Chain A
């Protein structure tokens, strides 16, 4: 099944019959030569018609999602978000103006709509066309909108250029968002990002403000000498989650000096090599 078919199926089985019929009627209009007004009216009305319950998904649904679109993760989507994205997908097949319409919709969107539009990024046609849109979402001051792009979304990992990617990771730390829901964190780590994050840690230390243990996840793999000195400082003086994070970063680092550092704290070394401590286990909840 396609992502649109899955969204349709999930909504149909969960919503009462009159609502399901309303969805079908909108999809019929939107998939055959729709006008822009029909799209924005349908999308605006979604929260009034569908409500805001969570979409009920079981493990097999999530598996189907991943099969329909690589790494697609609809866990935590609500029915209004699913409905809005379904309508966008229905119209995208029938218009060559999709990108323009999406831009216009974003311009006049309420906060719930923005979250839905950005969560839908990995499902829209012509993925590379939406890079600037994704970067705009990352620039948002609304944490919910930022996280709609950054969290549980394969689009940034696949499409964002390195500069935009690095800004996204740094901004997540800056606004207090967790890193672990970002897809592709390890594979897209890079020396520039490593440098930016270490600088950021120094800024926080200078202001005697706490540093998220997750920061070190994107440091280990590319750690240079200065970064290793930072990791040693964390090992020596950090809180327990910070020290665990430093140990995790050190086993990621190919430099033999990293393993030497780690061997000085055998109990942490055992914990990370035995996977008793992982990036997920040290992450803040949420």
Chain B
């Protein structure tokens, strides 16, 4: 089985994580732009961060045979520094049309302030003018109301719900999201939000239509193997294999594939130029032999030291 982690902040992760993810069958990741744990103070650090996501991180992932895509946007927390947020908004058009940028994101509400509202709306307009999808971060606090509001505002701006992914859902929000025709993503966090046990129950109840899971791993306590581990648990608990594949791979591909920027061929049959330039023979595609039959093993942390 192959997996996509459609929301993970790889710049905050180590090469051990990449190795374990590749070994567990993760073939592609989507890295949405977000905050760094503490607020940035100048537009230059945003530029460097966004350039890292489309440049260095993409190369780093390629070394492990993992295709790296991203979403570009101004996160809701940092929208509250309005003077800086305006400058960030000015540099986003430099990044949005680049290769492998699958959406504007992650954008939305955190505290649901006026400033957050202003920049969420401005970025919905950007998404429309660049004909792009939207990845919405729903707030941790006052979640239900914040999720409803995120969808209301997207609809108000004329964005097609089928082109919007509402992320970080839970049992309280999922029904409305699906009813309104948005994509519902679930973040499997080890201790908070959704655990994999709860996810199994959601899959049992709602099936696999319009639903997918991600790890949202970042610099906090999180698990970059959350997607393959959830798949394993779902199979053990008797969720049909086709549903597991849809929830852990196919639906994310379908949702973000609408951008034209992520295709199965990218990892099954990469263009010659990418094989020559980005994926150097030895370590890479060999690790990506399609795993049709069984779940790949979930590897332990690799304990091997090499002197460079």
Contact = CB atoms under 8 A, between A and B. Distances in A.
Interface string B84-102: 0000000101110111100
Interface string B259-282: 011000000000111101110110
Given A44-B94, A44-B98, A48-B260, A110 B272 contact: no
Nearest to B53: A110
B232 to A, nearest CB: 33
A286 B277 CA distance: 11
A143 B280 contact: yes
Contacts of B261: 48
B271 A40 contact: no
A41 B130 CA distance: 11
A107 B278 CA distance: 19
Given A40-B94, A44-B97, A48-B260, A110 B271 contact: no
B135 interface: no
B47 A108 contact: yes
Nearest to B274: A52
Interface in B52-99: 54-56, 58-59, 91, 93-95, 97-99
**Consensus secondary structure, chain B interface:** helix
A152 to B, nearest CB: 12
Contacts of A54: 272-273
Contacts of B58: 110-111
A51 B54 CA distance: 18
B51 interface: yes
Interface string A75-103: 01010110000000000000000000000
B271 A53 contact: yes
Contact of B94 (A51, A108, A142): A108
A226 interface: no
Interface residues of A, number: 32
Given A41-B93, A44-B98, A52 B271 contact: yes
Nearest to A112: B99
B307 A109 contact: no
A144 B273 CA distance: 11
B263 to A, nearest CB: 11
Contacts of B100: 110
A113 interface: yes
Contacts of A80: 99, 273
19 contacts: A44-B94, A44-B97, A53-B272, A53-B273, A54-B273, A78-B271, A107-B47, A110-B58, A110-B98, A110-B99, A111-B56, A111-B278, A112-B99, A113-B99, A142-B56, A142-B59, A143-B59, A145-B59, A286-B281
Given A78-B271, A108-B94, A143-B280, A48 B59 contact: no
A109 B101 CA distance: 13
Contacts of A44: 94-95, 97-98
> What are the 3 closest A-B residue pairs judged by CB atoms, nearest first?
A110-B54, A78-B273, A47-B99
